Structure 1
C-alpha cells in the first residue's frame, strides 16, 4: 500500500474552557496565515476551567510568533507521525497492528476519512519509536 508517512511537529497550548476559548487562539493563528491540517482540543481534567489544544503544522516566523503570543509551544515529548493514504476497510486497524507487532506503544491516535483518502496521526513515546514507526509504516 502506498502511504505518505512524515513527522508531524505538534504544538500545544492551554486555553480557557469557555465559549470562545478555542476560537480565540485559532483566530490568531488564522490571521497569521496558518493552514492547519489538524486541530484537537479537549478539556484538561486535572485543571478545572482549562482545556488543551493541539495543532499542526505551524510554519514560518509569522505563524510561530502568533502561536507564541497565544501560549503555543512545540511539544518536546509528543512524537507524532502523519500517515496519509487511500482509505479501505480495515486500514487503520492494520496500521495499529503493525505498530503493536513492533512493540510500539501509542500514546495517542486519531484518524479521519475524507472521500477516498484517510489521514491518521500516531503519537508515540519517544523519537526512537517515531523513527521506527515511520520505517515500518513506510514499508506497509
Structure 2
C-alpha cells in the first residue's frame, strides 16, 4: 500500500441547479467570488427531476464561503460522507485502497480518483458518519 497517505474527512455540499447552459457556471462563479478554492466538483443531471441537475462540492471553509453557498442553494449533505485521500501514485493503488476497505467491512457508495503528476487524489463517498470514521481509521493504519 502506498505510504505517506493524507486521509481526511470532508463535508460535502450539494445544490440543485437548472439543467441549462450556465446553470453550473452560475453557482461556481458565486463560490469563486466568495473566495472558495474548491478541490472537488461533481455535477450531473437529475433524471428524476427533468430540467434540474445537482452539484456536489468540497471544501467550503470560511464564513463568507458558507454564507454565499447557502444563498445559491447549497447545504451540507447529511446523507453523504466523504474522505479525501492523497498520496504517491503507484500501480494498483486504487485496488489496494478498496481491498483494504472491503476487508474492513466498508461498502463504498462512490469512488473517484485521478492522478496528477506523480500523486493521486481520491474521494470516497460513504453512507454514514460511522462508515467514514471507520474508513479513516482503516486507511490511517500502517501509514
Question: Same fold per TM (> 0.5)?
Answer: yes
SS in 2 for 1:106: coil
Gaps of 5+ in 1: none
1:41 aligned residue: 43
**Paired position in structure 1 for 2:59:** 57
Match of 1:116 in 2: 118
Q: Is 1:99 matched with 2:106?
A: no
Structure 2 residue ranges without an equivalent (≥5): none
Aligned pairs, how many?
Answer: 140
TM-score normalised over the length of structure 2: 0.95
Q: Which residue of 2 aligns with 1:129?
A: 131
Whole-Å Cα distance in 1 between the matches of residues 139 and 45 of structure 2? 31
Quote the offset at 1:100 in angstroms.
1.0
Match of 1:18 in 2: 20
**Aligned equivalent of 2:84:** 82
Q: CA deviation at 1:103?
A: 1.3
Aligned-partner SS, 1:71: coil
Distance 1:42 1:97 in 2: 28
Shift of residue 73 of structure 1?
0.2
- What do you get for the CA RMSD once the two structures are aligned? 0.8
Q: C-alpha offsets along residues 107-140 of structure 1, whole Å, 9 cap, x if unaligned?
A: 1111111001111000111111111100111125
